Amino acid sequence: MNQKPQTTFKISALAGAMVALVTPMNAEGEIDWLEYQKLLDWHINIKTPAVIIAGTTGESALLSTAETEQLWSIAAQRCANTETLMVAGTGAISPRQVMANNKQAAACGADLVLVVTPYYLRLTQSALRDHFWDIADTSPLPVLLYNVPTRTGNDLQTKTTQALAKHPNILGIKEAKADMERITALAKIDGFVVLSGDDESFCRAMQHGAAGVISVAANVRPRTLKQICHALALGDINKACQLDQSLQPLYQLLAQEPNPGPIKAVMHAAKMLSSGIRPPLQLMSLSRTQQKQFTQAIEQEFTQP
């Protein structure tokens, strides 16, 4: 049996609807720290299981080191002694940079790190395995692998992930590829947590053994996503599927343009955020029909006690 490391949290806490949090910005593209703290407090108050800070949705590639560390520190301070874990996005092309990021995330107070496969460089499965193994060897925090081949050009294949799951400091994976055969195989690994990274297919992924989802849609509909996860945990597949179906138009909207342009546009329309996003990213233009279609339910979730 895999002997996983002692953590400050129960491994079972890595379940349910977690949020890949946006980084709020003003019209000039500067971080809006008050909006950021407000979003954090909202997720903590509604007991979102985890917030992922400075990931893809958080515009990590466009943040300075100082900004990233401040985002991590504020989130860690706010999440301390709550039911919400703070997950730091620390991925980079260079393993040396990832190792440095992991140490800094630990110093900032993160609970664990999310490490995406290297991007741009095309790597063999052997190279990917060595990359993650070396990172896990040196990380002061437990590691979640992150596979999103449509963005990175590298696909962490099932056999490679199975080999990496043997490392005592690798807790699980965020698998963004909607491959149910892969999800099923990985979910069978003892002591290894599988999280979907694809909103549109996460309900199916959980029926194939995934413990939860790291979600973009959870920025605006976390309560509904939590209800889906709860229904699945109780075996109420019909209810879960009905709720999931109600969110499909939102999922499809969020996939129309590159993330986080659509989710930030929706949040701005719902008065949750200012309109800022960093170039070369662009905010998606929403029609009046789209604004009406999505904002009422979002505003209800955001303002509900």
Binding site feature residues for pyruvate: 57, 214
Helix axes 237-254, 261-269, angle to 10 degrees: 100
Complete DSSP assignment for 17-52 = EEEE----B-TTS-B-HHHHHHHHHHHHHTT-SEEE
Beta bridge partners of 195: 174, 212
Q: Following DSSP, what letter does each residue of 120-154 receive, concatenated?
A: SS---HHHHHHHHHHHHHH-SS-EEEEE-HHHHS-
Distance between CA atoms of 76 and 182, rounded to whole angstroms?
32
221 CB neighbour count, 10 Å cutoff = 26
Mark whether 174 is an active-site residue.
yes
Is 146 catalytic? The answer is: yes
**How many residues belong to the chain?**
305
Using a 10 angstrom Cβ sphere, with 0-12 exposed, 13-18 middle and 19 or more buried, the burial of residue 12 is exposed
Point out the annotated binding site. 57, 214
Instruction: Give the contacts of 177 (CB within 8 A, at least 6 positions apart).
Output: 147, 148, 149, 150, 155, 198
Q: Please pick, among 36, 146, 177, 264, the residue that the annotation labels catalytic.
A: 146
Residue 59 phi/psi, 5° resolution? 60, 40
Query: Which DSSP string corresponds to 50-119?
Result: EEEESSTTTTGGGS-HHHHHHHHHHHHHHHTTSS-EEEEE---SSHHHHHHHHHHHHHHT-SEEEEEPP-
* Tokens coding 120: 């741009």
Q: At what angle do helices 95-108 and 125-138 cross, to 10 degrees?
A: 30
Q: Rounded to whole angstroms, how far apart are CA atoms 245 and 224? A: 11
Query: Considering 4, 174, 177, 226, which one is annotated as catalytic?
Result: 174
List residues with catalytic annotation.
146, 174
